[in-house]
Structures are given as C-alpha cells and as structure tokens.
Amino acid sequence: MWSFASNAIAGSIGPKKPSAKPGPSNPDCSDDEVCSCTSREEGFEQIATDFTAKMMLVAKQYRCTHSSTCLCTKGHLSEDAIYLVFQQLNWNPRMIATLSCVCKWFDEIAKRVLWKEFCRTRAPKMMLDLQSCGSHSVDGNWKALGKLLIYCSGCSKGGLFNSINIPGHFVHRTRFSRTSGKSFLIPQCKNDVLYVSDPCEHLDQGDEDGAMLFRGDVGFFRGVFKSFAASRVKHMLIERKVEFHPTEVCPYCKAKMWSMLQAKMIPKSACSRLGAYNDCIEYYVCLNGHMLGICSLFPLTDSEDPSDVE
C-alpha cells in the first residue's frame, strides 16, 4: 500500500514544496489564523519502515466491503495504526489525498479522522471556535474544510464568475480572519461569525480594456461560516427567495450556491477591506456555509511592483 501511495503522489498531487514554519501570531488580532499546506515530508520511507513492525502486530483486521475491485484484498490495518503513521507525517495533505484514492474504506477514514486532525493542526484557534457550539463535526465535512484552507479554486471562463480562465492551485500559506469576516456581513447579520482569507492575487489576467468584469489584477478569497444552518445570512437568503446558481456548485463540498450579489447582501465595507477596484466584487455562499469570491484589485504602477519579501 505504501509503495502505491509513493507512486501515486508523484503523478496526481504534484511536486513537494519546502517546509515553512508559520509566522508568529499577532497578539492584537487573536482571531486570525495562518494556515500552511506544508508539513514534515522528509524521512517518509523511514517512517513507513519503522511502523511496519507495529502494523504487523495489529491483530484486528478490516476488510473492504464496498468494492470487489479494491486493491486491499487482504484486509485493512487498524485505524489506530493509520492514525499513528499520519501523526508522524504531521497530517500531510498530499499523503491523506493519496490514501483516499486507494479505496472507499480509506477514503472514509480520511474524511472522518485524518482531515479533521489536519484542520485542527493547521488552524487550531479557528477550529476551536467553529466547534464551540458543542458539535464534533463541521458543516459539510472535514475534507471540504481542509481543502478550503489550502486551495484557491480559481475560475473558468463562463463559469461561476463569468470571467477568464484562471486555474486553481494550492496556496502555500493563508491567513483567515474573523475580524475581516465582519466586513462581509450586512448590519442585519452582524451577529453571524464568518472567517475570510486574504485575497489570493493573480496579476495581469487578460486585457484590462476587455468586456469581462473581472480582468487585469484579480484576487480570489474564500471563507467559512460558523453554524451556517442557524445563521442570519442563510435565513435572509431563504426569506428573499434567492435562487441557486443553475449549473455551478461549491468547489469544496459540491453543494449548491447562492449569489450574494443577486441577494443584494454585499456591503460597501467588503470592497474597502479588499481594496476592490471600482467596487468590482462578487461572492457566493453554499448550503454548507463555504464562501467563494472574486474582486478586481487596484492596478500597480511601475513604482509599486509587488515585493518578494514575505
């Protein structure tokens, strides 16, 4: 199984990136969370070897009952053994995604256990707040939330934002802020809790004089609501009878999405927070409370080229 995972990751997940430690937390903004997709990948083969002996001693075996075509025809390791391996790998998202491709049994473990630990490790304060209502789960599932933390979905021409084609990609580091989230809520929904990321900048996208609304320098942002089912935002969307997007779904959980622009629920403060050019901003919210948005950024002059310094 481990050789399969090693081979699969090279072709389906992408190249490894160097590890980076999260920056120091800001005491004046305690609700912010810096999420990183990097982890300890060095020594994977050695770790797998070290745990092989322990795995062989596990008496309880599980057999996949979902498909006769699964590669795991001789039973499964216990969940405890799998947990220990991924704990040593610091809940590496590439390894979790690779394990999920082996069979449905592993995919279920990943959704129920591994992605949960990934989220709790990468964004502990944020996860603690999202679960402070007493629930042991989150809206949607842990896999969707884990993907939202580290993946910018981009957009396709004629898709959700009817913009140019910008491919999605993994984000090395992202800051999510509850304080920033307040800027995206209209006054009637001020008691709702929303975590929003800093915009992921994509510069020089298409002709600035073209017909598309979002062109030139654009930014993508994403977020998640706390207890969205009981939120005022969802109540108002239903109350206003806002229709779902006819074809597009949430890129993280595949749920249907509402347009906040169509609902007339985008406050001016959102444009100010993002620095949106000409107030060009649009975002959607799905049934599970995941938010996905785009904005036009102020174009940089020759003297304002972006710096490479973090």
Domain count, the chain: 2
pLDDT tens digit sequence for 135-166: 656 777 899 999 999 999 988 877 777 667 88
Helix H or strand E segment including 3: helix 2-12
**Across 68-72, 78-82, 104-108, 109-113, least confident range:** 68-72
| 310 within domain boundaries | no
Question: Per-residue pLDDT averaged across 102-122, rounded?
Answer: 90
Instruction: Please tell me the number of Cα atoms within 13 Å of 230 on its side-chain side.
Output: 7
Q: What is the pLDDT of residue 66?
A: 54
DSSP string computed for 35-72: EE-----TTHHHHHHHHHHHHHT----B---S-TT-S-
pTM of the predicted protein model: 0.73
pLDDT band, residue 57 (cuts 50/70/90): very low
Helix H or strand E segment including 280: strand 276-286
Question: Which amino acid is it at 264?
Answer: K
Which of 71, 104, 122 is the C-terminal boundary of a domain?
A: 122
| Cβ pair 142, 122 in contact under 8 A | no
Which of 122, 145, 180 is the C-terminal boundary of a domain?
A: 122
On whether both 109 and 190 belong to a single domain, the answer is no
On whether both 183 and 292 belong to a single domain, the answer is yes
Instruction: Domain of residue 298: give its range.
Output: 154-304
pLDDT tens digit sequence for 155-212: 887 777 766 788 889 998 889 999 999 999 999 999 999 999 998 888 766 555 444 4
Q: What is the pLDDT of residue 129?
A: 93
CB atoms under 10 Å from CB of 68, counted, come to 7
| Cβ pair 212, 163 in contact under 8 A | yes
